Amino acid sequence: MMIAHPGSEVRVLVRSRPTANFAQELIEYLPDGQTVSVHQRKDSRKGVVNNQLSSWSFRLDGVLHDVSQEEVYGRVGRGVVLGALEGYNGTVMCFGQTGAGKTYTMTGATENYKQRGIIPRALQEVFHEVEQRSDHAFSVHLSFLEIYNETLVDLLASVRGCPGVGPGGMAVVEEAGGGVSVRGLSLHPVHSEEVALNLLFEGEMNRIIGAHALNKNSSRSHCILTVHIESRSRTLSDAKYVTSKLNLVDLAGSERLGKTGSEGQVLKEAMYINKSLSFLEQAILALADRRRDHVPFRQTKLTHALKDSLGGNCNTVLVANIYGEASQIEETLSTLRFASRMKCVQMDPVVNEHTDPVLQVRKLEKEIQLLKQELSIHNTLANRMGMSYDTLSETQVAEIQSQVRRYLEGSLDEINIVSIRQIQEVFAQFKQAVQQQEQKVKAQLCQNYTLVEKAQSTAGSTAAKSQGSQGTVGVVEGHGFGVGLAVPSDRHIRLLSPGRTKAIKTKELASQGRKEAVEGRSPGPGKQVESVNPVQRDREGREHDPQNQEPQGPQEPLRTDSPPPKAEAFEDFKAERGSEINRILKENKVVLLERRARLRELTECVNTAKREIDSTSTALHQWRDKRQSQGQFVSAEGVPVLDEAELSLTLRLRELKTQYRQQYEELRGTKAEVSYCQHLVDQCRTRLLTEFESWYNESFLLPEEVQAMLRSGGPIRPGLVPVYKALALEEDEQDHFERLRYELVADSPSAISFYNAQNRTVQRRNYSKAMSQTPVQKTTPRGSGRSKLPAILSVI
Ligand code: ADP
Ligand code: MG
């Protein structure tokens, strides 16, 4: 088989028309069967006869001289035809002067079976192969195009049932994959060689035959018969199929104008022919030159129509037909030159493989069916009967919805996993529940606040921010917790309380001048880091605002398109919307501080009492030890009695212990109160900050995704701490808490539960570290069971 290998060149063979006057002295076929030498007398036409010869040698792929039509087909056509049946595009093209035998080579003598040409033999071979290759289903179509004076003609338009040319006329159109097709050219399904031959003859009949000086029957047009082949495997139920185009091209004569002596219509024909052939040559030259990435295919209809049939993804064979008489030597030379140029064109044929979407779907459906059966077998083996893998029904979806709802409410402990579809539906229902919740919250917010469009309030927010910036100068970088809020300028809605709107308007006026001064100096969006200075507290818990201090550092460039600083906004919030909760917070703090002071007092009292108990107890023991060594002191009745000193010590100790117990009881109560107050203060503060956060976000134009992130507790931006978290860990507070913390000895049973409870609270508050650092002061009281008392409580 002569299928081109990737990267090989176009095959070119020379065929000479037999003639009695073969110019043996001018045309020489070398014995290698591939080389043609042409000798030309210099200037013979200019009358200078000097018998000097110029010689040219052309090395091609084969010389067909005195060769039968059958052999020509074997050497020229067969490989291309078989390649087309495999899915490779193929082109057989005859080139040469009129009368050189192109039509004879392509079509042959129609009246003589033995002399039939490449086209009928190719058609025969195609159908022969189609019959042989029963494992493939082929579909074959024919089209027959003539290009006459740059006009496209459908040579099979006369065939019965032909749809006819559409409104746009015929045109060469480029296809998606780089190929070309002719719009409006009829495609005829062909099931047998006979039908195909009928179409060929019909087309031949329709050819426009021009009168010509050299050959009356010679065609003055280019003809392209295309066999469209599509094949699908019958054995593999594959969605893949291959297609190919087999172009059989009979070009118009290549002789030059001057020679024909044509005039009128014939001259015009010759001009067109020359034009198209010279563009064909240009296209061939461009194709042969690998450095050129543009090939001028579109210059004529011929080259455009042959765009995907000359080299490239195509097996191309060219037959250069020559008329070997001495008078035709110049045409012969020009034909051979064209042939050798064509030989340089590279081919890279590949099988045109496609996937049929309909078949692909069918194939996948079959596979799904099979896998379902497979699954049902597995389920049977695993004792899981009655499983369905179809799309969930409405009832099933409703059941899942109810499960999810019950799960969220807490009345259902778990949702059993049944199938992938069910899991997906469970997730979908969760999503729906979350979305509904979100909408509910949003609706509530909209009800509670006045909705103001960004457009109306831009000036206000800008001004408010400018004003705020003035206050935060020097604080921006040095202190504070960076809370970055990159706010895109579009898609903003502001939620403002009526009071807030008023406040902003006042500030707007106040900061007008400043705003103008800073405009145009702001960094790009997304780079802004808005700083919030924490509200600082002194030891007594009084708040003082560092923003009221004098500016210290260099001034930070101010932005005109961002929300006001949080510290400032926080103050506003406390004064307005958060005033009630802030008042409660303050009240709670006062109570807390008072209770803490009492706790400190009591702790000192208890410790003093404990120390006295210890010293009294020691004195008593010492006295007893001393007296024991002196003998037992007894009354007149012989009953042991206490002496006066011992009695007074014992009474004092009892008194101290009672006092201690009372004070200790009070201390326990106070401690519980402190703990409770602390809890209340924490709660109030958290609420104040949380409400502030959401108010701030809603008021100052956060895009939805950032708000969503805040809601979920995620970081706004890596490295930045949300303000409420930051504020909740004020250092002063932490110190304070640490200072007041004390430990109870483990040997007091009542202290253990208190200790545990306190410990849990402390852990919850994330102060466990501080806890472990506190020194534990232990004094084990001497003496027996009854007088067991807690050790001294540490007061720092
Ligand atoms: P073209 O199509 O190139 O103009 P044709 O194929 O019409 O030329 O050939 C011109 C004449 O020469 C025709 O009558 C044809 O039968 C004859 N002819 C061409 N080549 C051969 C050949 N190899 N053997 C026999 N006759 C040939
Ligand atoms: Mg011809």
For 304-320, write each residue's pLDDT tens digit.
Answer: 888 888 877 889 999 99
Ligand 1 atom having least distance to the Cα of 106: 6
Q: Is 177 annotated as a binding residue?
A: no
Q: How many degrees, rounded to 5, is the angle at CA 517 between CA 515 and CA 520? A: 85
Ligand 1 atom having least distance to the Cα of 97: 3
Q: Is 360 annotated as a binding residue?
A: no
Q: How confident is the model at residue 632 (pLDDT cuts 50, 70, 90)?
A: low
Go through the chain and tell me how many residues it has. Answer: 796
Q: How far is the CA of 120 from the centre of ligand 1 (A)?
A: 16
pLDDT of residue 754: 46
Say how far apart CA 605 and CA 662 lie, in whole Å.
11
Nearest to 247 by CA among 91, 93, 82, 123: 91
| Residue nearest to ligand 1 atom 12, measured at CA | 101
Substitution candidate for ligand 1 out of 14, 15, 17 with most atoms within 8 A of CB: 17
pLDDT of residue 458: 46
Specify which residues 352 forms β-bridges with. 243
Ligand 1 atom having least distance to the Cα of 107: 6
What is the pTM assigned to this prediction? Answer: 0.52
Residue 37, burial from CB neighbour count under 10 angstroms (0-12, 13-18, 19+): middle
Q: How confident is the model at residue 567 (pLDDT cuts 50, 70, 90)?
A: confident
Q: Is 102 annotated as a binding residue?
A: yes
pLDDT of residue 516: 41
Q: How far is the CA of 405 from the centre of ligand 2 (A)?
A: 85
| Residue nearest to ligand 1 atom 5, measured at CA | 101
Give Rg (Cα) of the chain: 52
Q: Which ligand is nearest to the CA of 215?
A: 1
Q: Is 100 annotated as a binding residue?
A: yes
pLDDT of residue 473: 34
Ligand 1 atom having least distance to the Cα of 218: 4
Q: How far is the CA of 102 from the centre of ligand 2 (A)?
A: 5
| Residue nearest to ligand 1 atom 20, measured at CA | 101
pLDDT of residue 448: 76
Least confident of 105-109, 512-516, 602-606, 711-715: 512-516
Residue 762 has pLDDT above 50, yes or no: no
Q: Which ligand is nearest to the CA of 146?
A: 2
CA atoms within 13 A on the CB side of 169: 4
Least confident of 23-32, 399-408, 421-430, 637-646: 637-646
Summarize pLDDT for 495-544 with one digit per residue, the tens.
334 444 444 444 444 444 444 444 444 444 444 434 434 444 444 444 44
Summarize pLDDT for 74-108 with one digit per residue, the tens.
999 999 999 999 999 999 999 999 889 999 999 99
Q: Which ligand is nearest to the CA of 212?
A: 1
Say how far apart CA 424 and CA 429 lie, in whole Å.
9
Q: Which ligand is nearest to the CA of 102?
A: 1
DSSP letter for each residue of 130-191: HHH-TTEEEEEEEEEEEEETTEEEETTTTSTT-----TT--EEEE-TTS-EEEET---EEE-
Say how far apart CA 284 and CA 281 lie, in whole Å.
5
Mean pLDDT to the nearest integer, 610-635: 81
| Residue nearest to ligand 1 atom 17, measured at CA | 101
Pairing assessment for the beta strands 240-250 and 90-96 based on DSSP bridges: parallel
Substitution candidate for ligand 1 out of 22, 73, 104 with most atoms within 8 A of CB: 104
Q: Which ligand is nearest to the CA of 209?
A: 2
Q: How far is the CA of 558 from the centre of ligand 1 (A)?
A: 92
Q: How far is the CA of 92 from the centre of ligand 2 (A)?
A: 15
Q: How far is the CA of 90 from the centre of ligand 1 (A)?
A: 24
pLDDT of residue 256: 66
Residue 250 has pLDDT above 70, yes or no: yes
Q: Is 566 annotated as a binding residue?
A: no
Q: How far is the CA of 122 from the centre of ligand 1 (A)?
A: 19
Summarize pLDDT for 577-593 with one digit per residue, the tens.
888 888 888 888 998 89
Say how far apart CA 528 and CA 561 lie, in whole Å.
10
Ligand 1 atom having least distance to the Cα of 98: 4
| Residue nearest to ligand 1 atom 18, measured at CA | 101
Q: Is 619 annotated as a binding residue?
A: no
Q: Which ligand is nearest to the CA of 101?
A: 1
Pairing assessment for the beta strands 536-537 and 481-483 based on DSSP bridges: unpaired
Q: How many degrees, rounded to 5, is the angle at CA 516 between CA 515 and CA 519? A: 85
Q: How far is the CA of 100 from the centre of ligand 2 (A)?
A: 8
Mean pLDDT to the nearest integer, 717-745: 40
Q: How far is the CA of 21 from the centre of ligand 1 (A)?
A: 15
DSSP letter for each residue of 480-518: SEEE-----SSS-EEEE-HHHHHHHHHHHHHTHHHHHHH
Ligand 1 atom having least distance to the Cα of 94: 3
Q: Is 440 annotated as a binding residue?
A: no
Q: How confident is the model at residue 262 (pLDDT cuts 50, 70, 90)?
A: low
Least confident of 175-179, 648-652, 752-756: 752-756
Ligand 1 atom having least distance to the Cα of 102: 3
Q: Is 98 annotated as a binding residue?
A: yes
Nearest to 324 by CA among 494, 112, 99, 543: 99
Mean pLDDT to the nearest integer, 677-682: 85
Q: How far is the CA of 273 from the centre of ligand 2 (A)?
A: 13
Summarize pLDDT for 327-378 with one digit per residue, the tens.
888 889 989 998 998 888 888 888 888 888 888 888 889 889 899 888 888 8
Residue 216 has pLDDT above 70, yes or no: no
Q: For residues 518 and 671, which has the higher predicted lDDT (pLDDT)?
A: 671
Share of the chain above pLDDT 90, in %: 23
Of 38-52, 504-518, 735-749, where does the model show the most confidence? 38-52
Q: How confident is the model at residue 384 (pLDDT cuts 50, 70, 90)?
A: confident
Mean pLDDT to the nearest integer, 701-715: 56
pLDDT of residue 539: 43
Q: How confident is the model at residue 479 (pLDDT cuts 50, 70, 90)?
A: very low
Ligand 1 atom having least distance to the Cα of 69: 23
pLDDT of residue 257: 56
pLDDT of residue 561: 53
Q: How far is the CA of 293 from the centre of ligand 1 (A)?
A: 38
Q: How confident is the model at residue 549 (pLDDT cuts 50, 70, 90)?
A: very low
Q: How far is the CA of 149 from the centre of ligand 1 (A)?
A: 23
Ligand 1 atom having least distance to the Cα of 321: 3
Q: How confident is the model at residue 288 (pLDDT cuts 50, 70, 90)?
A: confident
Number of continuous H segments (helices) and E segments (strands) in the chain: 23, 21
Average pLDDT, the chain: 73
Say how far apart CA 434 and CA 703 lie, in whole Å.
19
Q: Which ligand is nearest to the CA of 105?
A: 1
Pocket of ligand 1 from Cβ distances under 6 Å: 17-18, 96, 98-104, 109, 215, 217-218, 253, 321
CA separation (Å) from 322 to 17, 48, 63, 73, 250?
6, 26, 11, 17, 14
Q: How far is the CA of 101 from the centre of ligand 1 (A)?
A: 3
Nearest to 515 by CA among 456, 564, 579, 567: 564
pLDDT of residue 259: 52
Ligand 1 atom having least distance to the Cα of 96: 3
